[in-house]
Amino acid sequence: MKQPTLSIITPSYNQAAFLDQTLRSVISQREQVHEYFVYDGGSNDGSRELIERYSSQIEHWVSEKDAGQPDVLARGFARATGDYLAWVNSDDVYMPGALQRVREALAKHPEWDVVTGWHVRMDGQSRMISAHRVAGESTAAARWGSFHPCQPTAFFRRSFYEKVGGVNPELHLVMDTELFFRMMDAGAVFGHVPAYIAGFRRHGESKGVGTHQKYASEYDFLDRRYPHYHAKSFKHYLGRAMTKGLRTFSAGELRSRRDTRDWRGKSIEEVFGPWITNQNKPADNVNNATP
């Protein structure tokens, strides 16, 4: 059974405090990654030196001023040749073994255009905050206002990404949701991997912190453009309430609470294991690139 190939991008800017973990979380799974690109926006906090340390495991990287995250994602995905695409921000991580699970699931389900999985939330010191065994996404649920994928767990077919026109360069906070809405409108089949795929970090410098006004503006855009998925309507409020109510006592939610109770305060590597890398030994499928 042939497994599909993965192209992964990390956009970064002045995130040296977290970037090492992000890079290790990908590079430790290099045998599962067809190509890895890192786009740094000209950081002045030591990020460039971190990237250089792992450069033998990265096909292409740059450290230069850019036009923001949508710009580097568009450039990276245009360069990518993998069957499926994904991005992991420079303060998030993939769990050990996660990429193998994703590839195996995609090989078993060639009909899936987009796949998501479970995630955990962690703080700025990589300590566990909460665990989330979320259910899979579907167009039917989204039409009732229930749509909550965690972006770092998402992988999507490159040909489908190209079909819908790529990321919207005008959006900076909800571009992932808007991209998935366009994929839904185009008939994408969503799949789900019931495993912890990624860690999503919440900290004082997170992109979503302190940007309530910008979020409100971009949410208004979603309301106008995709009222069938995202609107201030009775149907959507009812759908979200019903989903939350059903989830409250579901097996997945109860196990999420158990995991949260058992793991809260522990380090991400204490719970899931370390990301083991050999930065001096390039993977066989790597063609070293210079910035």
212 falls in which pLDDT band (50, 70, 90)?
confident
**Phi then psi dihedrals of residue 213, to 5 deg:** -65, -40
Among the residue ranges 44-48, 135-139, 187-191, 246-250, the one predicted with the least confidence is: 246-250
Q: Are 137 and 143 in contact (CB under 8 A)?
A: no
Distance (Å, whole) CA 165 – CA 159: 10
Q: Where are the beta strands (DSSP E) in 159-239?
A: 190-201
What architecture is the 6-272 domain classified under in CATH? Alpha-Beta Complex (3.90)
Average of per-residue pLDDT across 84-110 = 97
Give the Cβ contact number of residue 253 at 10 Å.
Answer: 17
**Reduced to 3 states, what is the DSSP secondary structure of residue 105?**
helix
Which band of pLDDT confidence, cut at 50, 70 and 90, is reported for residue 286?
very low
CA separation for the pair 199, 210 (Å, rounded) = 21
Contacts of 20 (CB under 8 A, 6+ apart): 50
**268 within 8 A of 93, measured Cβ to Cβ:** yes
- Residue 71's pLDDT is 94
Of 267, 272, 269, nearest to 128 by C-alpha is 267
- Is residue 18 within 8 A of residue 5, CB to CB? The reply is no
Q: pTM to 2 decimals?
A: 0.92
Instruction: Tell me what the mean pLDDT of segment 123-131 comes to.
Output: 96
Q: Is the pLDDT of residue 213 over 90?
A: no
Counting beta carbons within 10 angstroms of the beta carbon of residue 33, is it exposed (0 to 12), middle (13 to 18) or buried (19 or more)?
Answer: buried
Residue 280 has pLDDT above 60, yes or no: no
Q: What is the DSSP letter of 144?
A: T
- Is residue 119's pLDDT more than 50? yes
CB atoms within 10 A of CB 186: 12
Boundaries of every domain in the chain? 6-272
Residues pairing with 93 in the sheet? 199
Q: Pick the residue with more confidence: 173 or 285?
A: 173
Of 83-92, 164-173, 227-236, 278-287, least confident by mean pLDDT is: 278-287
**Residues 6 or more apart from 38 whose CB is under 8 A from it?**
9, 10, 12, 23, 51, 58, 60, 61, 62
Judge whether residue 149 has pLDDT over 50.
Answer: yes
If you average pLDDT over residues 257-277, what whole number do you get?
95
The pLDDT of residue 249 is: 85
Task: Report which of 116, 118, 114, 135 is spatially closest to residue 190, judged by C-alpha positions.
Answer: 114
What whole-number percentage of the chain has pLDDT above 70? 92
Which pLDDT score is estimated for 77? 98
pLDDT, one tens digit per residue, over 225-259 is: 999 999 999 999 999 999 989 888 899 999 999 99
DSSP conformational letter for 4: P
> Tokens 């799949």 label which residue?
191
The whole-number pLDDT of residue 288 equals 34
Lowest average pLDDT, out of 32-46, 114-128, 204-218, goes to 204-218
CA distances from 150 to 92, 256, 285 (A): 11, 15, 29
- CA dihedral (138, 246, 98, 10) in degrees, to 10, reads 60
Longest dimension (CA), the chain: 57
